[in-house]
Amino acid sequence: RGADIQRLIQAEFGKVYQLNGIYDLLHRLGYSCLMPRPRQRKSDPEAQSALKNVVEQVEAIRAAHPDKRIEVWFEDEARFGQQGTLTRVWAKKGSRPRAVRQTQYDYLYVLGAVCPGTGQSVGLLAPHLDTTIVNHFFEQFAQELGADVHAVLIWDQAGYHTAKALKVPPNVSLIGLPP
Q: Which of 49-58, 139-148, 153-162 has the highest mean pLDDT?
A: 139-148
pLDDT (0 to 100) of residue 73: 97
Whole-number average pLDDT of the chain: 88
CA proximity to 175, closest of 145, 151, 159 = 151
More confident residue, 44 or 147: 147
Determine the residue type at 24: D
pLDDT (0 to 100) of residue 21: 92
pLDDT tens digit string along 92-112? 888 888 887 777 777 899 999
pLDDT (0 to 100) of residue 143: 94
For every residue of the chain, which 3-state class applies, written as one string? CHHHHHHHHHHHHCCCCCHHHHHHHHHHCCCCCCCCCCCCCCCCHHHHHHHHHHHHHHHHHHHHCCCCEEEEEEEEEEEEEEECCCCCCCCCCCCCCCCCCCCCEEEEEEEEEECCCCCCEEEEEECCCCHHHHHHHHHHHHHHCCCCEEEEEEECCCHHHCCCCCCCCCCEEEEECCC
pLDDT (0 to 100) of residue 38: 79
Under the banding of pLDDT at 50, 70 and 90, the label for residue 116 is: very high
Q: Which whole number is the average pLDDT over 19-34?
A: 90
Share of the chain above pLDDT 90, in %: 59
- pLDDT higher than threshold 80 for residue 49: no
- pLDDT higher than threshold 80 for residue 146: yes
pLDDT tens digit string along 55-78? 889 999 999 999 999 999 999 999
With vertex at residue 156, the alpha carbon angle to CA 136 and CA 132, rounded to the nearest 5 degrees, is 20
**What span, in angstroms and rounded, lies between the C-alpha atoms of 166 and 139?**
11
